[in-house]
Structures are given as structure tokens and as C-alpha cells.
Structure 1
């Protein structure tokens, strides 16, 4: 498997697989976000998810994949810091704002700066048509957030700090997308990076969640929370793992942009699962997001 993946890097086959992985990651990331924002406190949900995928990754990291090269330890340390800050900011945003407002701002901020980072670090360049696609996609994403802010949000007391946290989270999305792409390319075996990333990434949030749980006067039942963690952990492997592999197989910028079609899936999940309203204007904005992704793909 590893040999085949490395053999198709930069090829048309690799490009097509990266496209599939990015779109899969988009859908699953929206599901992941809904899991964290859904029934339980976002801090508890994230702690359960991280603990689950960290424990599941440990046997593979320690006993299955090749041991990381010496230079990878510094890279893992950097990823640990970046993702920890990202998750704290995301939990702060989700605990203060509506999912359908916060999520589009996070996802809209990320791809623009990820594309810029890919240009500076990996010497990738978008065509004029692809930049038009990025502009179309971002118009749809931020338009969706603005529409939700104006028409769908009832409690606005904490929404301004939620939006600020969401914007900061989006910057961290761009940073970790670019950094993880560098990390997964820095090791010979991409599954070594994935296994060690998930194991080390699952260390902090369970501790913070446990402290928060102990301080709660009305504690939720543990069994449903832990079940949510296991489901979220499995989704995280396919979502985060999928996008990391996509950035190794093909262009980082294109994968980052295509992943942000997750906003479309998030709106659909908000409508179907969280019983949030979806009208013709929101459908039109979601169509813009999808159109932007299509332009980016076919104008390259």
C-alpha cells in the first residue's frame, strides 16, 4: 500500500485519488464538526474523540508502522502545538456561537491562507481561473455565514467573540494544513506520520475535558459521550487522514480548497440533524461553494 501510494505521487492517478480523498474529507469533516457541536459540551466531545483516536492509533504507531526518522520528532512537536491551539480556539468558538455561523467562518478563512502558504512553501501556483474559483467559493462560504448571522441566530450576546474565535481558528486551519502537508512529505512512509500524529494529538484534550467534567455540577452520562468519542475518532481517521494523504499525493492548495465544500455538507447536516432552517437563499449560496470548487478543479 505504501509503495503504491508513493509511486503515484504527482501523477494523474495521484491527482484523481487526491480529489476523492479531499471530497471524502469534506463530508466527514462536516460530520465531525456536528459531532463536536451537537448534544454534548464541545470540550467534552473533543476530549472523548481525541482520547479515542489516540488510543486506537497507539498500537499502530508503536508496533506496526516503521519508526519515525530522527528529524520527524521536531515536526511532531510542532504539529502537537499547532493542533492543540487550533482545538482550543475551535472549542471556544463552538461554545459561544451557532454551528451554522461559526463553521463557515472557520472553513472560509482556512483555504485562502492555505493557498497562500502552499504558494510560499511548496511553490504551487494557481491559474487565474482557479483564483476565480477560490473567490467564488469564499463568496459562498462567507455569504452563508452572513446570512445565518442575519436571519437564523436568536442569541447574539456571545456571537461577536464566537466570530473572532472562528476567524482565529480558520487561520490555524491554514497553518496546520500547510504544516501537516510538510510533515507527511518529510517521512518516507506516510502512515508513520499519520499513526504518530494521531497518537500524540490525542494527549491534551482528554485531560482538559476530564478537568471540565469534574467541575460540572450537572455531569452528562459517560457512556453516550464515550460512544460519541469512538465514532468521532473513526471519522477523524478518514477525514484528517484523508486530507493529509491528499496533500502528499497532489497540490496542497487544491486539496485545501476542495475540502471546504464541507460547508455545504455542514449546512445539510444542520438542516437534517440539527433541525436548522435551509431556504432558497442558503441553497444558492451552497451552490456557489460547490461551483467554486468545480472551477478550481477544472481550471487547473
Structure 2
């Protein structure tokens, strides 16, 4: 059973890297994020109407998760506006496994063994190494926003890891989080973006954004399902292998040629995953 959930998280990582690449490639990242919020919000509304309400104990976590997801989206937009996908994405994602492990230990009572902790450390080190250049990380644009994004990722992962275990129905939990998170996000995008009619006329941009939203929703649902069974730190480390897929997408899709350092970082990540599975 655990192997099935590991496979689902890895597939979620591939989906996550895909929609992040779509967002980074967009000329108007704010509008793209707004379009992503449309199918996510509609799916949340359908779930709220059709599914039983989550258990009362999970509601504080639902509210906290929605706020953190909103902050994450805004920080991610800012990071991608000022930095390269190949630099911003690894830093944002690489921080979270370590932070999630600490949060799960402090708030969820999860204490990983030495082998698992070593595997999480290797995955995080490999991911962050992807962003390194000869001038160092500090010289890369968007690093401040990328670090903030990583903090939001870790925070909502720990909140979701606790909340979904209290909710009873994981899909009801997802529905309420996505409804409460995506409606304000869409409202903010429409307010900040000015007249939406010229943008709505660009059908390709609208459809691409909505496709990204569907992919994002599927990725989130797989992770939430896994959080009910697997330790939070391990789920986070496996999910952040999206950076490994991000390297492949950056190479094959965005024309970002992998360097020897990136190849070594990918090997380090794979070694960390093998330790997790031990």
C-alpha cells in the first residue's frame, strides 16, 4: 500500500513541475494564475455541494491552509517575475522538505529515523544545488521571493498533513480549501489586472491557464491522499522531486541545457529517495 502512495506522490511531482513550467512560460503570470483558479474554484464548489462537511476539528486547518495557499500563489508569481525558472523553482521547493520535517516533529509528533532524515537532507541538498551558479545563489534574481515561497509551501504542507487526518473525508477537505483559496485569488487577479476583456479574447492563454489549474488540482489531491498514510516529511521530499522533473522539462521544453552540476544534483536527489524507501 505504501508503494502505491509513493508512486502517486511521484506522479504528483511530475504534474506539479508541468504546471509550474506553464506558469513560468506565460507572458502574463498574474492572469495565468487567475485562469488556473477558475477550474480549481469550480471543483471546490462542486465538492462542497456534493460531499459531506469535514469534521469540526479540521476547520481551523482548512482556514489556515486556504490563507497559506493564497500567500504561496502571490509569492510564486513575484518570484517567477524576477527570476529564472531553473533557479527560483529549486530554491522554493528545496527548502520545504527540511522545514516540513521540523514542523511535523514539532506539531505532528513525527520523528524520522536517521536513515529517513538523511534521505530528506540529501533530497533537499540536491534540489537547492540545482539553483547554484558560479556567482552563487544570492546573485540570482527572485531569491527572496523564492525563499518566502518555500516557507509557505512548508507551512501549508504541515497544516494539511494534520488537517486531512482530522477531516474524515480527504476530498471534502480539498474541496473547502480550494473553494476558500481560489475565489479570493481570482478576485485579486481581476481587481489588479484591469479590464479582463482583451485577455479573455486570447483563447489560447485562457485554455492554457485552465489546463494548468486542472493539473494543479490533480497534483494537490494526490498529495493530500498520501498525507493521510505517509509521514509528512517523506511526502514533502518525494513531492519536491518535481525539481528533478523541472530540470527535464527545462531542458526538453524551455531549452535550458543541464550542466554537470545539475546532473550531480539529480543523482543526489535519487540517492536521497532510495534512502527514504529503505
**TM-score between the two structures when normalised by the length of structure 2:** 0.92
In structure 2, the partner of 1:77 is 63
Name the SS of the counterpart of 2:250 in structure 1. Answer: helix
- Deviation of the 1:297 alpha carbon: 2.0
Aligned residues of 1:133 and 1:295 also touching (Cα < 8 A): yes
Counterpart residue number, 2:175 = 195
Is the contact made by 1:54 and 1:198 (CA closer than 8 Å) also made in structure 2?
Answer: yes
Query: Which of 49, 57, 60 lines up with 2:47 in the alignment?
Result: 60
Q: Which sits farther off after the overlay, 256-265 or 285-294?
A: 285-294
Secondary structure of 1:204's counterpart equals: helix
Question: Does the CA contact (< 8 Å) of 1:48 and 1:226 recur in 2?
Answer: yes
1:28-85 residue CA offsets vs partner (Å, 9 max, x unmatched): 11112111111232211111101221113312221x2112334444332212211111
Corresponding residue of 2:235: 255
Q: Gapped runs of 5+ residues in structure 1? A: 1-12
- Mapped contact 1:40–1:225 kept (Cα < 8 A): no
Measured in 1, the distance between the counterparts of 2:201 and 2:85 equals 23
**Structure 1 residue 288: deviation in Å?**
1.2
Structure 2, gaps ≥5 residues long: none
Give the distance between the partners of 1:181 and 1:135, measured in 2 at CA.
20
Offset, 1:19: 0.7
TM-superposition CA deviations, 1:130-180 (whole Å, max 9, x none): 222222222211211113x749x9xx6xx44x1011011101111000001
Mark the CA change 1:74 to 1:124 in structure 2 (over 3 Å): closer, same or farther: closer
Q: How many residues align?
A: 276
Q: What is the CA-CA distance between 1:190 and the residue it aligns to? A: 1.3
Question: Which residue is equivalent to 1:276?
Answer: 256
TM-score, normalising length from structure 1? Answer: 0.85
What SS class does the counterpart of residue 95 from structure 1 fall into? helix
2:120 alignment partner in structure 1:
134
Matched position secondary structure for 1:244: helix
- The alignment partner of 2:63 has SS state of helix
Change (3 A) 1:221 1:281: farther
8 Å contact from structure 1 (residues 18, 255) kept in 2: no
Aligned twin of 1:32: 19
| Per-residue deviation, residues 174-229 of structure 1 (Å, max 9, x unmatched) | 1000001111111111111112222222112222222333279x958531222012
- Name the structure 1 match of 2:266: 286
Q: 1:170 aligns with which of 134, 142, 150?
A: 150
Q: Distance in 1 between matches of 2:115 and 2:152?
A: 26
What is the deviation of 1:235? 0.8
Name the counterpart of 2:8: 21
Aligned to 2:207: 227
Question: Is contact 1:194–1:241 with CA below 8 Å preserved after alignment?
Answer: yes
2:120·2:234 contact (CA, 8 Å) conserved in 1?
no
Report the alpha carbon displacement of residue 230 of structure 1 after superposing the two structures with TM: 2.0
Partner of 2:98: 112
Task: Please provide the CA RMSD for this pair.
Answer: 2.1
